[in-house]
Amino acid sequence: MLLNNYGDKHIAGAFIILGGLMNTIEAVMIIEEGDDHSEKQVLEAWQYLIDTGVVWNFQGWYGRTAAALIRDGICKPSQQQTDYCEACGCTPCDCGWGNY
Q: What is the pLDDT of residues 13-46, one digit of tens each?
A: 445 554 456 799 999 999 999 788 999 999 999 9
Give the pLDDT confidence score for residue 22 in this predicted structure: 79
Query: Which comes out higher in pLDDT, residue 88 or 60?
Result: 60
Q: 83 and 70 in contact (C-beta within 8 Å)?
A: no
Give the pLDDT confidence score for residue 69 in this predicted structure: 95
Give the pLDDT confidence score for residue 79 in this predicted structure: 77
Q: 91 and 83 in contact (C-beta within 8 Å)?
A: yes
Residue at 94: amino acid letter: D
Please report how the helices 60-71 and 39-52 are oriented relative to each other, as an axis angle in degrees rounded to 10: 100
Residue by residue, DSSP assigns 11-27 as ETTEEEETTEE--HHHH
Among 52-61, 63-72, 89-98, the minimum mean pLDDT is found in: 89-98
Give the pLDDT confidence score for residue 31 in this predicted structure: 95
**pTM higher than 0.75:** no
